[in-house]
Amino acid sequence: MKEKENIGIGRRKTAVSSVRLRRGTGIIDVNGRGFEEYFPLQLQRDVILNPLQKFGDVNKVDLVIRVKGGGLESQAIATRLGISRALLDGDESLRSELGQLGFLTRDSRKKERKKYGHKKARKSFQFSKR
């Protein structure tokens, strides 16, 4: 029989992260690569593992993370949201604590679309009076 997995999906800007959380020995796989290899900065790794350090044990769960789109920082925050949602999938009583720490808040800011008659979303072409 297959072990029960808790699944969470996190998004930020254009980054999407799918997290599978199951009991194990602390192995973290990100897109088929090692955790330290994919996220080289300690700050990013701390951001990602923050919910697990507060409400679970990092060494008692295995994580299979699939991320795409965006940059590394955006992927890290999307992964944190995915882990928080996966923890919530396993234990609904954590909702208030996770919410108070801001781990369940989806950062809704997105890139503004380019408008016609403009160079970018807000930047205009150079104006020449004469």
Q: Which of the four pLDDT bands, split at 50, 70 and 90, describes residue 3?
A: confident
Say if 88 falls within a structural domain.
Answer: yes
Say if 107 falls within a structural domain.
Answer: no
Say if 94 falls within a structural domain.
Answer: yes
Say if 46 falls within a structural domain.
Answer: yes
Task: Report the pLDDT value the prediction gives residue 1, as an integer from 0 to 100.
Answer: 54
Say if 85 falls within a structural domain.
Answer: yes
Say if 48 falls within a structural domain.
Answer: yes
User: Phi, psi (5° rounding) for residue 58?
Assistant: -60, -35
Tell me the per-residue pLDDT of 77-130, one tens digit each, with 9 for 90 and over: 999 999 999 999 888 898 999 999 999 999 999 989 999 999 999 999 999 998
Q: Which domain holds residue 92?
A: 6-100
Long-range contacts at 91-96 (CB < 8 A, ≥ 24 apart):
94/55
The structure's pTM equals 0.88
Report the CATH number at residue 56.
Answer: 3.30.230.10
Tell me the per-residue pLDDT of 20-74, one tens digit each, with 9 for 90 and over: 999 989 899 999 999 999 999 999 999 999 999 988 788 889 999 999 999 999 9
Say if 55 falls within a structural domain.
Answer: yes
Task: Report the pLDDT value the prediction gives residue 57, as an integer from 0 to 100.
Answer: 80
Say if 126 falls within a structural domain.
Answer: no
Number of domains in the chain: 1
* Backbone region of residue 70 per phi and psi (left: phi > 0; alpha: psi in -120 to 50; beta: other values): left
In this predicted structure, the answer to whether residue 2 has a pLDDT above a threshold of 80 is no
